[in-house]
Amino acid sequence: LENLPCSFVIFGATGDLASNKLLPALFHLEVASRLGERLTIVAFSRRDWTLDSWREYLSSILANKVKAKLEGPVFERFLARFRYHRGDLNDVESYRALVANLPPEPACSRTVFYLAIKPADFAVVIKNLQAVGLNQPRGMNRVVIEKPFGEDLESAQVLNRLLHQYLDEEQVYRIDHFLGKETVQNLLVFRFANTLIEPLWNRNFIDHVQITVAESIGIEKRADYYDRAGALRDMLQNHLMQLMTVVAMEPPVALEADALRDEKVKVLRSIRPIAKRAIHAHAVRAQYALGNIDGQTVVGYQQEENVEINSLTETFVAAKFYIDNWRWRGVPFYLRTGKRLAKQASLIAIRFKHPPQQLFRETPLEFIAPNWVLLSIQPEQSMRLEIHVKQPGLDMDTRVMQMNASFLKTDEQALDAYETLLLDVIEGDRSLFIRFDEVEWAWRIVDPILKHWLVEREFIPIYPSGSWGPTEANRLFDNDDQTWRNEL
Ligand code: BG6
């Protein structure tokens, strides 16, 4: 118990991430009695509020986000954990005052600092924490850093050097919330707890892999951040590449933080670098235009508040990678993600090769679909196998049957990724957090694409909101019989 942190500071406590994800997740952990008696939560924000106004705000945001009751002893206990700290991220005095607002040492010597703030502010917070001694005691306090970690390879290295100047690696938690999603962890179980699948999971049987993270939301009120970042930095370099590593990695020697991360890094290191002249064959970007989602007209990206005039920022990206190792050589991995697509749907789709012999000649060839394994990450958490069976009747025709399995039983509820990950931070388990070499290799792979786009400044393809993205995304496919799978 002594090892558990006793304070949890949220920088950016009134921001989007805190209100949409962190605070609801902390409350759910409270409901599940997982927060520990001693934990104090400090909300750090610029707003000129009192503890009472903070509590009011907290109740109002939770009301829209959580199902549990906002009354009674559990809720009272949750409210009582909070302190409100008005402060300016840039002002070292705010941090001095923060020290005074934390539970006193030595009774309480472990603190989590969660940087739920713009990446541009990471450095100043780290420096200020150091200036008032809050990076000490080494190995005790933890700092959680949100993605994107840097905006390219070089800036990521600079940020990492800064972190290591003031903190030990064990103190740093680089978060990628996709790894906290139940279905993503289930991928490890699916692959490594069954003998049925793993023997087929390689270049001999798999034709290609698709990873799609489609969102129907636009950029919401995040233009300040998003217009600089774009879909490649916001999603592909981190979330989608992480999903790819989990699909492609070898079994780790144990389910331990470094063993897992070693295997993921091997995958990233094996990705074939994309040559400059091949960028067009490997990456497509596009931007959403006016369109229609669920019967509602929505504006194009250019018309969103605070987006720069004629911005070329991509809201959709698709890319093709090859993993040049023994298992995957020659198998394309197609990744794509976009905002304002037809639906919210995240899907890992594995297409198998055709059998070597076509015995069932009665079935016209165009109806002989390959086998697929589809793993749906959201909104459903489920799996589908598509296999051939005989069509009832006099002829020897086949048809595709879908075997569906939900990962959740009817009375079970999916956890939010942040619940899992915040508990891991509190308990000091770093398995689902990103080591710097993973970040570094991921940037190495996408950097040439970013550099190329930076030079090509005349034009970006558009797609209507509510569609499945630009037709240009089809040009990535190696073969004519490959097409995108959009949803379950
Ligand atoms: C975030 C991105 O990391 O992930 C957002 O910054 C995106 O742009 C979000 O909407 C998607 O996560 P989830 O868990 O809502 O699918």
DSSP per-residue string spanning 79-112: HHTEEEEE--TT-HHHHHHHHHHSPPTTT---EE
The residue whose CB lies within 8 Å of the most ligand 1 atoms, and thus the one to mutate among 183, 234, 315, 418, is: 234
The label of the residue with tokens 């049987």 reads 205
pLDDT in tens, 12-28: 999 999 999 999 999 99
Residue 213 alpha carbon, nearest atom of ligand 1: 16
| Residue 108 pLDDT | 77
Rounded Cα gap, residues 337 and 271, in angstroms: 19
- What number is the average pLDDT over the span 280-288? 98
Instruction: Please give the pLDDT value at position 104.
Output: 79
Number of H helices, E strands in the chain: 14, 17
User: How far, in Å, is the centroid of ligand 1 from the Cα of 168?
Assistant: 28
By alpha-carbon position, which residue is closest to atom 5 of ligand 1? 234
Q: Which residues are annotated as a binding site for NADP(+)?
A: 46, 88-89, 147
Query: What is the three-class DSSP state of 78?
Result: helix
3-state secondary structure labels for all residues of 168-229:
CHHHEEECCHHHHCHHHHHHHHHHHCCCCCHHHCCCCCEEEEEEEEECCCCCCCCHHHHHHH
CA–CA separation, 325 vs 285, rounded Å? 27
- Amino acid identity at 310: N
Residues framing ligand 1 (Cβ under 6 A): 177, 215, 234
**How many A from CA of 340 to the centre of ligand 1?**
13
pLDDT digits (tens, 9 = 90+) for 224-279: 999 999 999 999 999 999 999 999 999 999 999 999 999 999 999 999 999 999 99
Distance 68 CA to ligand 1 centre (A): 24
- C-alpha of 447 from chain center: 19
276: number of Cβ within 10 Å = 10
pLDDT of residue 105: 73
Lowest mean pLDDT among 141-150, 198-207, 310-319: 141-150
What is the distance in A from the centroid of ligand 1 to the CA of 294? 20
Which of 423, 465, 474, 435 lies closest to 34 in space, CA to CA?
Answer: 423
Ligand 1, atom 13, residue with closest C-alpha: 178
Atom of ligand 1 nearest to the CA of 225: 6
Contact residues for 73 (Cβ-Cβ < 8 A; gap 6+): none
pLDDT (tens digit per residue) in 427-457: 999 999 999 999 999 999 999 999 999 999 8
To the query of whether residue 239 is one of the catalytic residues in this protein, the response is yes
Average pLDDT for the chain: 94
Q: Identify the pLDDT of residue 139.
A: 64
User: Which of these is catalytic: 85, 208, 239, 282?
Assistant: 239
ipTM computed for the complex: 0.99
Amino acid at site 339 = K
What's the mean pLDDT in 459-479? 97
- Mean of the pLDDT values across residues 147-168? 94
Work out whether strand 111-115 and strand 142-145 pair parallel, antiparallel, or are unpaired. parallel
Taking the model in full, what pTM does it have? 0.95
Is 487 or 165 the better-scoring residue by pLDDT? 165
Which of 149, 228, 239 has most ligand 1 atoms within 8 Å of its beta carbon, as the pocket-test mutant?
Answer: 239
Mean pLDDT computed over 206-228 = 96
**Which two structure tokens, joined as six digits, stand for 72?**
């009674």
Binding-site sequence positions = 46, 88-89, 147, 177, 181, 215, 234, 339
* 281 Cβ neighbours under 8 A, 6+ residues apart: 320, 475, 476
Give, in order, the Cα–Cα distances in Å from 47 to each of 42, 50, 84, 85, 223: 14, 9, 10, 9, 21
Of 215, 221, 418, best ligand 1 pocket probe by most atoms within 8 Å of the beta carbon: 215
Q: Is the model's pLDDT at 3 over the cut of 80?
A: no
Judge whether 109 and 15 are in contact, CB under 8 Å: no
Ligand 1 atom closest to Cα of residue 147: 3
Of the candidates 353, 210, 328, the residue with the CA atom closest to the CA atom of residue 272: 328
Give the mean model confidence (pLDDT) for residues 121-137: 91
The pLDDT tens digits of the residues spanning 452-463 come to 999 998 899 999
For ligand 1, the distance from its centroid to the CA atom of residue 414, given in whole angstroms, is 17
Q: How far is the CA of 239 from the centre of ligand 1 (A)?
A: 9
Atom 8, ligand 1: which residue's CA is nearest? 234
Cα angle 6, 67, 45 (rounded to 5 degrees) comes to: 45
pLDDT class of 359 with cuts at 50, 70, 90: confident
pLDDT digits (tens, 9 = 90+) for 102-119: 887 777 778 999 999 988
pLDDT at res. 396: 85
Q: Which of 488, 258, 276 is nearest to 379 (CA)?
A: 488
Say what the pLDDT of residue 2 is: 60
Q: What is the spatial distance between Cα 345 and Cα 337, in angstroms, rounded to a whole number?
A: 10
pLDDT at position 1 over 60? no
